[in-house]
Amino acid sequence: MTDDLIGKSIGGYEILDVVGRGGMATVYRAQQVSMNRVVAVKVLPEKYINDDTYIQRFNQEVAIVAKLEHRNIVPVHDYGEQNGQPYIVMRYMSGGSADDLLNNGPLEIETIVSIVEQVAPALDYAHTKHVLHRDLKPSNVLLDDDDGAYLTDFGIARVLGEQGNKGITTQGVVGTPSYMSPEQAQGMPLDNRSDIYALGVMLFELATGRRPFESDTPYSIAVMQVTTPPPSPRTYNPQLSFALEEVIFKALRKKREERFPNAVALAEALKRAVNKPVASIHDTQPGMQRPNNPAPQSQQPVHVMPPAPPIQQIPVYTPTPSQPMTSGYMPRRRKARTSNNVWMSAALGGMLGCGLLAVLVIVVILAISSINTAPPASPAPTAEDGSAGEGALLPLDSTSEAARASLVPPDIQGTPGLAPVGVRETPTLSAALRGSGNQLIYFTERNDNYDLYKLDLESGLEVRLTFDPGADSYPSVSPDGRFIAFQSNRDGDFDIFVMDIEGENLRQLTDNTVLDRIPSWSPDGSKIVFSSDTRNDSTFDLYEIRPDGSGLNPVFSNGQRNSHPRFSPDSRYIIFTTGDAQDGGTWEIGRLDTQTDEFIRLTSNGVKDWSPSFSPDGSAIIYLTGENGSATAFGDSAIGMIATDGNTQRILYDGTSYEWGVSYSPDGSLIAFTAFSVQTAREEIFLMRADGTEVQQVTFDGGQAASWVPG
């Protein structure tokens, strides 16, 4: 990839080549002329040099690292600015990152101990300086050519006791969901033990080749951090001893007071565990119930579930017994990387912390709501499309209810079933985005609750449709525009509901104790297809049901996670996400022929592909993918396109944040999707032309997973 800075000088440093690119910065390998040494130079892109938020975050990283002088923290040599473009000069680490070592599977125990022994004192040292890292992970541990391990990327670190600048998000929920402590995911006050939890996640990953919690969305992962016990590391790497497993379990305790008091204590416990015999008198960490998590399933013959007798209205069905699972180690599937990714985390840290924040603040609401309102723990709206991001949760505007009502046309006020929220910032749609469907149904969190909303794109009028304390999410509008199917945890677990387009005549279609998720209509409106965790082990099967609650039938099961089903316009096919329940990196786009029961994978490239949707003419499928060409997608998600036969795959759109919730307009000219908005620091609905151009934000108070209303 060409770069205008390569071959030029910035400050006293000759830029040699690009090491890594991220949404917030680019890292270069450079030659320091004055000292004839190779260094790494992190540069803020020109497009951000007039953005105070990014400038302040960049400066904050320098201020924090300047406090930290430790032999196992990557040192910063210099900081400067050229033509208004700030840069940071750091020691160049030629050995890559701990994350790069994982390309070949789990690490040898000796290597793990060496890394943890070096990083732990550095982490404790930062804590003595009142600095919390908040983004500890293998990609933020860099290596030299002599097996030295160094902590890096303090882009979203927090200095305890500082109030921070109001223009930047340093005090809220930021970080990488896979490594967040429960209290960090919930936006609670943090101390050093939050970083200890992240170190425990990293230890789990180094020892097994995968993270303890993996799902299709950062949002779902954050919920798991709060509510789900970690799986047994020995499930994924049977060579691990029980003693070492107990160390990992202690680091991953949900209650911080039950974790190790500091990082060095964890490192010392790790060394003792390695020196113990393989056998242990404890099969689990005392006091922690071992989850019933079987090993990843080996490949089994794909089959279609036989038809079942119709079930009458509001059916209750019993999960079928779990299929036999074979044990054995299966390393996480990872894309091969080049050395250009060594410093990627240094470039991405601040941007990912900002760009993924919105969804994780949501976890606060759902975790508290689940505990307070339902006897069993109610999961937050789980998603295949998935919410993404961590952005500051902005308060609702201060406009009074009376003032809001005055903004609503008189014929809308007081209409049964409608609750006018008011006219938000009315989007002035570009000419290219007009004339193709003018209403969207979506969900979002406001005032501590998830509900469904309807937006008129022409007038900007937004109407709240649901009011239950439960979490209502993932709406799907019927082909005739009269009904909305959605998922809700009103009775403690997610079930499928249907109501009129105005929010009236609610009826519950499924009623059981497992998760039923992400419904979608058949083209003639006679069926609703959805995914169900029938065995309560995260392997989802596909089911169909009639809109009146009758005719519940199994559609497809292969012992894997099958979710986000969507019919083709002619009802010939159902496409969906399929893959290992425990490893999102294995997920591909599956296609089931409803006439022949033939199942094929349209994608099979070792890259995470998920959440497909058909174009209205059935010729193309849009979906989410973790890859953009040969590089990881910005925010780990891009919008891809593929022909219905599986050919001509390409990236349609890849913004700087995590895109998800993609859907075509009724005439196929537009695509709606969800992404993090820098303007509102929340996840919002965006529209673009079907060719990936003319992107425009259309919600300004939160919006997720839009479904078009035919009209």
Above 60 in pLDDT, residue 94? yes
The rounded distance, in Å, linking the Cα atoms of 266 and 259 is 9
Is 9-91 in CATH node 3.30.365.10?
no
pLDDT tens figures, 256-303: 999 999 999 999 999 998 886 443 323 233 333 333 333 333 333 333
Q: How many C-beta atoms lie closer than 10 Å to residue 501's C-beta?
A: 18
Residue 536: pLDDT band by 50, 70, 90 thresholds? Answer: confident
CATH of domain 363-708: 2.120.10.30
Highest mean predicted confidence (pLDDT) among 67-71, 132-136, 587-591: 587-591
Above 50 in pLDDT, residue 350? no
Above 80 in pLDDT, residue 11? yes
**Residue entry with tokens 């002599």:** 146
Q: Calculate mean pLDDT across residues 486-501.
A: 93
Above 90 in pLDDT, residue 533? yes
The rounded distance, in Å, linking the Cα atoms of 107 and 614 is 41
**Structure tokens given for 562:** 């099958």
Considering the candidates 99, 100, 124, 135, report the single residue annotated as catalytic. 135
Above 90 in pLDDT, residue 319? no
The rounded distance, in Å, linking the Cα atoms of 198 and 244 is 17
pLDDT tens figures, 146-202: 889 999 887 666 665 554 443 333 344 567 889 999 998 888 888 899 999 999 999
Least confident among 59-73, 165-179, 364-378, 621-635? 364-378
Q: Calculate mean pLDDT across residues 128-140.
A: 88
Q: What is the pLDDT of residue 310?
A: 31
Residue 114: pLDDT band by 50, 70, 90 thresholds? Answer: very high
Q: What is the pLDDT of residue 167?
A: 34
For the chain, how many residues are written?
Answer: 711
Q: What is the pLDDT of residue 214?
A: 85
Our CA angle for 166, 74, 162, nearest 5°, is 25
Contact 168, 60 (CB under 8 A): yes
Contact 518, 564 (CB under 8 A): yes
**Structure tokens given for 390:** 């961590």
Contacts of 289 (CB under 8 A, 6+ apart): 229
Residue 449: pLDDT band by 50, 70, 90 thresholds? Answer: confident
Q: What is the pLDDT of residue 141?
A: 93
Residue 630: pLDDT band by 50, 70, 90 thresholds? Answer: low
Residue 348: pLDDT band by 50, 70, 90 thresholds? Answer: very low
> Which is nearest to 652 in space by CA: 678, 685, 629, 632?
629
Q: What is the pLDDT of residue 377?
A: 34
Percent of all residues in the chain with a pLDDT value above 90, rounded to a whole number:
46
Contacts of 44 (CB under 8 A, 6+ apart): 24, 25, 54, 55, 58, 85, 86, 87
Q: Calculate mean pLDDT across residues 510-530.
A: 95
Our CA angle for 428, 429, 435, nearest 5°, is 135
Of the chain, the end-to-end C-alpha distance in Å amounts to 45
Above 80 in pLDDT, residue 466? yes
Q: Calculate mean pLDDT across residues 503-514.
A: 93
> Which is nearest to 435 in space by CA: 457, 464, 410, 460?
457
**Structure tokens given for 625:** 């993918």
Mean pLDDT over each residue of the chain, to the nearest integer: 77
Question: Would you give the DSSP letter of residue 75?
Answer: P
CATH class of 98-294+327-353: mainly alpha
Stronger pLDDT, 159 or 494, i.e. the higher one: 494
Q: What is the pLDDT of residue 564?
A: 96
Q: Calculate mean pLDDT across residues 693-706.
A: 93
Stronger pLDDT, 19 or 418, i.e. the higher one: 19
Above 90 in pLDDT, residue 355? no
135 is catalytic: yes
Above 50 in pLDDT, residue 387? no
The rounded distance, in Å, linking the Cα atoms of 403 and 420 is 11
Stretch (H or E) spanning 16: strand 13-21
Q: What is the pLDDT of residue 157?
A: 60
Above 90 in pLDDT, residue 627? no
- For residue 142, CA distances in Å to 5, 134, 226, 553 come to 24, 17, 29, 52
The rounded distance, in Å, linking the Cα atoms of 644 and 653 is 19
Residue type, 189: P
Return the exposure string of 596-611: e unless at least 16 CB atoms fall within 10 Å of the residue's CB, then b. eeebeebbeeebbbbb
Contact 366, 219 (CB under 8 A): no
Query: Residue 175 phi/psi, 5° resolution?
Result: 130, -170
Residue type, 24: M
Q: What is the pLDDT of residue 385?
A: 41
Residue 628: pLDDT band by 50, 70, 90 thresholds? Answer: confident
Residue 332: pLDDT band by 50, 70, 90 thresholds? Answer: very low
> Which is nearest to 471 in space by CA: 348, 390, 387?
387
The rounded distance, in Å, linking the Cα atoms of 6 and 3 is 6
pLDDT tens figures, 220-250: 888 889 888 898 898 899 889 888 998 999 9
Above 60 in pLDDT, residue 315? no
Q: What is the pLDDT of residue 492?
A: 81
Q: What is the pLDDT of residue 495?
A: 95
What are the residue ranges spanned by the domains of the chain? Answer: 9-91, 98-294+327-353, 363-708
**Structure tokens given for 161:** 């006791």
Q: What is the pLDDT of residue 412?
A: 23
Whole-model pTM: value is: 0.51
> Which is nearest to 207 in space by CA: 249, 181, 244, 259?
244
Q: Look at the alpha carbons of 262, 268, 272, 275 in this order and tell me if their dihedral is positive or negative.
A: positive
